[in-house]
Amino acid sequence: MFERLELITADSILSLMAAFRADPDPRKVDLGVGVYRDDRGETPVPAAVRAAERTLLERQTTKTYVGPAGNPGFNQEMARLVLGSDHPALTAGRVRLIQSPGGCGALRLGAELIRHASPDSVVHLSTPTWVNHTPLLSGSGLKLERYPYYDAARGAVSFAGMLAAFEQLPPRAVVLLHASCHNPTGADLSQGEWRELLSLVKRRQLLPFIDMAYQGLGEGLDADAFGLRLFCAELPEVMFAVSCSKNFGLYRERAGALGVMCESPAEADAAMSQLVRLARGLWSMPPDHGAAIVHGLLSDAALKAQWVAEVDAMRERVRGLRREVVRQLAEHCPGRDFGFIARHNGMFSLFGITTAQVRELRARHHVYMVDDSRMNVAGLSRTNLEYFARSVAAVLAGGTAR
């Protein structure tokens, strides 16, 4: 049987991780995989998360199964974090969350639910979008299509193009939206654009599936959830996938949740029962450790406040780096305007150079970004910023950095 299998390469992000690890050059700069980094290039476990983990280890007396829906306390706390504790959809009992193995598990489970409820549904993804959206969603058997999202010339959302595409969609089409910190472009909808999109989504009866993997790392924990909260306040049905990887620094623990908002509590209960059955067939029960840490942290006011301050610091570091890299690039590459980087949110920006230039940056200067020129701004630091800007200047000029 297996003789039929072809050898394939990992996706662009995973192969870049491996290539960076294998590069022995001390000057190497990792702007590839989307993990937060501090000024020393490390991806720390936030102190509040470590404290919650210590308490968990001290108090945990069993590792018996929790159940296919995961930790109910985690699901409840995450619903409040995502929607805000007094959100009308929560008060009305119309929202259910199910714990999942990371945001990826949530995306896949959401796709399975859509497929189960409406097998012919088509999911519309932004162009461009995160490379793993395609296998995660199409793996359920759903058909995928694309809508325009990004105007590379302006380094901004192509909102008119997006609206025009949504205007053509049939009722019940599923639109996958990024809540904030769009991956890979870094260009987000403004609050006014979310409002305008809402009236179109309502009028065309589209189903929004909102991916929120970076809450807190764009403009703030509440601001990053603006569109999701607005849609949940105004629409009959919304789905959302949430990840605790980046903002809690829990990457390898695989903690996340899928949220479903339905028209009534009875419909939400039915949807939840289907989700539990689908999850049982996919992974049976989600991993517990990361979610148990998040539950402990969010239900302790002091730890939560400490964590909020840590998320604020991560965000401010990246925002400072954005301003600084624009300044350095303006100095070293005066012929080209990279000012859009400072207008982007979260860890990513689509840098806007060609794949050949990306590869030259990698081969000659040991600067790693994804082939589509997505850069993780958090990988920059005081020690490598100037080297980065010089390397870019050399590649743009067709030469090499000193």
| Contact footprint for ligand LMR (CB under 6 A) | 13, 33-34, 130, 132, 183
- Is 211 noted as a catalytic residue in this protein? yes
- Which of these is catalytic: 30, 106, 130, 225? 130
At its nearest, how many Å lie between ligand LMR and the CB of residue 222?
22
- Is 120 noted as a catalytic residue in this protein? no
| Interatomic CA distance for residues 393 and 312, integer angstroms | 32
Closest residue by Cα to residue 78 from 248, 313, 233: 248
CA distances from 324 to 310, 319, 339, 388 (A): 21, 9, 11, 12
- Is 130 noted as a catalytic residue in this protein? yes
Nearer to ligand LMR, 126 or 183 (CB): 183
Strands 143-148 and 156-157: unpaired
Give the residue closest to ligand LMR by C-beta. 34
- Is 194 noted as a catalytic residue in this protein? no
Nearer to ligand LMR, 130 or 147 (CB): 130
At its nearest, how many Å lie between ligand LMR and the CB of residue 110?
17
Residues 256, 99: contact at Cβ < 8 Å?
Answer: yes
Nearer to ligand LMR, 166 or 209 (CB): 209
At its nearest, how many Å lie between ligand LMR and the CB of residue 12?
9
Tokens of 69: 């829906």
At its nearest, how many Å lie between ligand LMR and the CB of residue 5?
23
Kindly report the three-state secondary structure assignment for every residue of 95-163.
EEEEEEEHHHHHHHHHHHHHHHHCCCCEEEEEECCCCCHHHHHHCCCCEEEEEECEECCCCEECHHHHH
Nearer to ligand LMR, 214 or 340 (CB): 214
What are the two backbone dihedrals, phi and then psi, of residue 210, each rounded to the nearest 5 degrees?
-105, 125
At its nearest, how many Å lie between ligand LMR and the CB of residue 43?
12
Cα three-residue angle 178-290-245, rounded to 5 degrees: 30
Nearer to ligand LMR, 87 or 133 (CB): 133
CB atoms within 10 A of CB 80: 15
| Interatomic CA distance for residues 248 and 303, integer angstroms | 12
- Which of these is catalytic: 213, 225, 268, 279? 213
Would you name the residues annotated as active-site residues?
130, 211, 213, 246
